[in-house]
Amino acid sequence: MNLLMRRAALGDLAALDKVMQVISNGPADPAKAGPLVEKLAAAEDKYLLVAVDQDTDTLCGSLLGVVFEDICGDCRPILLVENVAVLPDYQGKGVGRAMFREIGLWAKEKDCHYAILVSGMQRLGAHRFYHALGYQEVKGFKKYRLGE
């Protein structure tokens, strides 16, 4: 398989939504997702990465990397990785590993100190994959009803 790693573009919206449905409960609202993809494509501190199988022209994976500042220690930025998804037919074929390599190189260019990611509790296969990449499991918290 000949993989291309690149930033997502507006023309990727339908294929990207198909990939995101691997980790979500339904399709995204194109009226919201379209402008967001355009905004992310122009952002210097965000990287909406897509993996494309060039042999079949299939957008087969995606992740979002966000670099944010840290005021602790030597004040180097941190990489947040979110929305990691690979189409089922492409899982176990190196797509995820290639995406993490690409986002890691980007984070290194940004002088990031370390990376963090969040994964659903039920995604045990993904957790094994993250461990294989060198990620360590730590405790985290999530809140959806903000301001309460």
What confidence tens digit (pLDDT) does each residue in 114-126 have? 999 988 888 888 9
pLDDT score recorded for residue 119: 86
pLDDT score recorded for residue 39: 97
Identify whether 126 is part of a domain. Answer: yes
Q: How many domains does the chain have?
A: 1
pLDDT score recorded for residue 135: 95
Identify whether 138 is part of a domain. Answer: no
Confidence check: pLDDT of 79 > 90: yes
Residues belonging to the chain: 148
What confidence tens digit (pLDDT) does each residue in 86-95 have? 999 999 999 9
What confidence tens digit (pLDDT) does each residue in 20-72 have? 999 998 899 999 999 999 999 999 999 999 999 999 999 999 999 999 999 99
Identify whether 147 is part of a domain. Answer: no
Global confidence as pTM: 0.93
pLDDT score recorded for residue 142: 81
Identify whether 20 is part of a domain. Answer: yes
What confidence tens digit (pLDDT) does each residue in 122-144 have? 888 899 999 999 999 998 888 88
Identify whether 16 is part of a domain. Answer: yes
Identify whether 148 is part of a domain. Answer: no
The enclosing domain of 31 has a CATH number of: 3.40.630.30
CA distance 46 to 67: 6
Rg (CA), the chain: 15
CA neighbor of 91 nearest in space, from 137, 128, 48, 135? 128
Containing structural domain, residue 120: 3-132
Identify whether 103 is part of a domain. Answer: yes
Name residues whose C-beta falls within 8 Å of residue 103's C-beta, 6 or more positions apart in sequence: 47, 49, 63, 65, 79, 81, 115
**How far, rounded to the nearest angstrom, does the alpha carbon of residue 103 sit from its chain's CA centroid?**
8
CA distance 123 to 108: 27
Confidence check: pLDDT of 2 > 90: yes
Identify whether 141 is part of a domain. Answer: no
